[in-house]
């Protein structure tokens, strides 16, 4: 069984995170490299998962520290899916702010992952300044 290490994000992780994100097809984030890297620096939740010393996944989130913990991104490398990296990242993030409720958006293909882990769906909206 592969052992996972969860640790805080380091600036040196960013290029690999960007490559993983682009490979997943999240081109909007990958294309806005400078802004996204600044977002990582400003996020209260910025964690990576390592499997055998290699980046297996990451989670980035924001919180008010009291009521809400919002997960901005959670991504696990396809070859590492099923190892528990996503679950471990979410558990560590929530353990940092255990009194908060954890919220996130999910795609039509990922919602079953979250539902299987006790998350309940809720309705939300998204809009960028250019829309």
Asked whether 107 and 121 are in contact (CB, 8 A), the reply is no
How far apart CA 25 and CA 23 sit, in angstroms, is: 5
Cβ count within 10 A of residue 89: 26
For residue 28, give the H/E element and its range. Answer: helix 27-31
4-115: CATH, from 3.40.50.300, 3.40.50.620, 3.40.630.30, 3.40.50.10540: 3.40.630.30
Residue 128 confidence class, pLDDT cut points 50, 70, 90: low
Confidence (pLDDT) at 31: 86
For the whole model, what pTM was predicted? 0.88
Q: What pLDDT shows up at residue 127?
A: 67
Tell me: the pLDDT tens digits for 88-127? Answer: 999 999 999 999 999 987 776 777 777 887 877 777 776 6
Distance separating alpha carbons of residues 73 and 60, to the nearest angstrom: 5
What is the residue whose two structure tokens read 């959670």? 74
d(CA 22, CA 24): 5
Question: What is the rounded CA–CA span in Å between residue 44 and residue 53?
Answer: 24
The tokens of 16 are what? Answer: 């690999």
Q: Residue ranges per domain, the chain?
A: 4-115
Pairing of β 45-51 and β 54-63: antiparallel
């Amino acid at each position: 069984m592969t052992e996972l290490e969860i640790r805080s994000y380091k600036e040196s992780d960013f290029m690999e995170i960007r490559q993983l994100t682009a490979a997943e097809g999240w081109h909007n984030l990958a294309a806005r490299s400078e802004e996204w890297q600044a977002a990582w620096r400003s996020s209260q939740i910025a964690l990576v998962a390592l499997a055998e010393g290699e980046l297996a996944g990451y989670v980035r989130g924001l919180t008010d520290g009291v009521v809400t913990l919002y997960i901005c991104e959670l991504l696990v490398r396809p070859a590492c899916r099923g190892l528990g990296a996503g679950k471990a990242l979410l558990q560590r993030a929530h353990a940092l702010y255990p009194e908060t409720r954890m919220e996130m958006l999910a795609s039509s293909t990922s919602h079953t992952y979250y539902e299987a882990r006790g998350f309940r769906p809720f309705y939300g909206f998204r809009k960028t300044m250019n829309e």
